[in-house]
Amino acid sequence: MDEHVAFLNEQVDRHHAWFSKSLPMIASENVISPMAREMLVSDFGDRYAEGLPHERYYQGNAFVDEVEDRVVALAKQIFRVRHMDPRLISGTVANMAVYFALLEPGDIMTSVALSHGAHISSAKFGAAGLRGVNNVNYPFDVDRMNIDVDETAKLIRLVKPKVAAFGQSVFLFPTPLRELHDAFQDAGCRVWYDGAHVMGLIAGGTFQDPLHEGADVLTGSTHKTLPGPQHGILLSDSEDEKFLKRLQRAVFPGVVSNHHLHAMAALGVTLAEFLAFGRDYAAQIVRNAKALAQALHERGIKVLAEKHGFTESHALALDVAAFGGGAKVATDLEKARIITNKNLLPWDTSPVRPSGIRLGTQELTRLGMKEAQMREVADLFARILVKGEAVEAIATEVAAMRTEFNTVHYCFTKDAEAHRRWRLA
Ligand SMILES: *Cc1c(COP(=O)(O)O)cnc(C)c1O
């Protein structure tokens, strides 16, 4: 075999061997099902289909059009909305479409601050800044790890943004959209909810339902709590045809040309499986997050928002300053085969030396873990952080634990062999 190809194959094999014996706890990741993965290697990944189904610019799209129609229909059914665009190739690209559709350079947008958990696409040095949007951040209640609803209503009435944006990457509690309804009316703004992290929870009927609580548009990734391919999604329940047209034109020809048809097909399979298993999956993700938070807390590890039940989503934020800070702890955990990331906490000033780590339970849940396993995971954390046990020994235990959780759950494929063939777990 060619030396370069052999090298590349070896790295991917090693990655699979390592990940399949580790605890994947990054809150923005997930693993797709065997049937969805099959779509990713189909010929759909080699084609173009610019425009809308049945009105394409290229020939050869007859079956692509059928798939796209079905993906849209499934999403509309699951999210109970009138409009869905499956052509966004990532969550950030979905956000860019909103920036181009609803905001012009110099316009004011209100949003959550980065240090309070927002995503870089809403920051000055991210897509918002590139569009020339003037960003004003909401007052935040650190105790509740949520925006301060009264002060936020005042701010929105004062600055009258063109768009009030919500949603976070450290997203522990639902946004009080209903409580802000009158402020939105007074300001005359559009309401945009970035649900990248919580898309699967929204689809599964937990957390909140932003498009039925006052949001005009919902964007997100399809690979975080929604366990699909790396792709994006844009949804709206608006009846305003002009508004929907603006969003649609911002997608194409605005920010997307080819829309990664293989990923779109895989999203279709994900949505079909979600229709069958999504409510159970979403509910278990949140139960697991609460169980993990409680167990970590009982073992002497500081979980944020203690007085408010720690979390209502898949995610937890830990303050690990007492154990050497986020960077050190995330590195130590990785040596023990526990994959997490360091994260800014609201009071941090340095993004390279944050005092927190962020955890998510969506992927462990997908592998079949329940509350009992969350307590075992919390034990491992305590042995590493609190007791200072050697990470090498714990790594061996993690690998052993994973041998019982090595298939993808909440999907149609029950045959373990198929999971192994795709090296999913
Ligand atoms: C992950 C995330 C995004 C970006 O999604 P990609 O699919 O990675 O481009 C956007 N917004 C929020 C809040 C996110 O957490």
**Adjacent-strand bridge partners of 147:** 140
Q: Which of 30, 192, 221 to mutate to test the pocket of ligand 1 (most atoms within 8 A of CB)?
A: 221
Q: Is 197 in the pocket of ligand 1 (CB under 6 A)?
A: yes
Cα(230) to centroid(ligand 1), Å: 10
Q: How many CB atoms lie within 10 A of CB 412?
A: 14
CATH architecture of 34-273: 3-Layer(aba) Sandwich (3.40)
Tokens of 389: 């046990």
User: pTM value?
Assistant: 0.97
Cα(285) to centroid(ligand 1), Å: 19
Q: How many CB atoms lie within 10 A of CB 147?
A: 26
Tokens of 88: 């966004």
Q: Is 232 in the pocket of ligand 1 (CB under 6 A)?
A: yes
Helices (H) then strands (E): counts for the chain: 15, 17
Query: Residue 303: which of 172, 176, 169 has the closest Cα?
Result: 172
User: Can you tell me which residue has the tokens 């084609």?
Assistant: 47
Atom from ligand 1 closest to the CA of residue 118: 13
Digit-by-digit pLDDT tens for the chain (425 residues) are 899 999 999 999 999 999 999 999 999 999 999 999 999 999 999 999 999 999 999 999 999 999 999 999 999 999 999 999 999 999 999 999 999 999 999 999 999 999 899 998 888 889 999 999 999 999 999 999 999 999 999 999 999 999 999 999 999 999 999 999 999 999 999 999 999 999 999 999 999 999 999 999 999 999 999 999 999 999 999 999 999 999 999 999 999 999 999 999 999 999 999 999 999 999 999 999 999 999 999 999 999 999 999 999 999 999 999 999 999 999 999 999 999 999 999 999 887 789 999 999 999 999 999 999 999 999 999 999 999 999 999 999 999 999 999 999 999 998 887 877 777 66
User: Can you tell me which residue has the tokens 């995610």?
Assistant: 315
Tokens of 89: 């190739």
Residue partners of 278: CB distance under 8 A and separation at least 6? 78, 200, 203, 204, 410
Q: Is 119 in the pocket of ligand 1 (CB under 6 A)?
A: yes
Q: Is 116 in the pocket of ligand 1 (CB under 6 A)?
A: no
Domain range summary for the chain, segments of one domain joined by +: 34-273
Cα(315) to centroid(ligand 1), Å: 14
Cα(92) to centroid(ligand 1), Å: 5
**Strand order across the 341-343 sheet:** 302-303, 315-319, 356-360, 341-343
Q: Is 313 in the pocket of ligand 1 (CB under 6 A)?
A: no
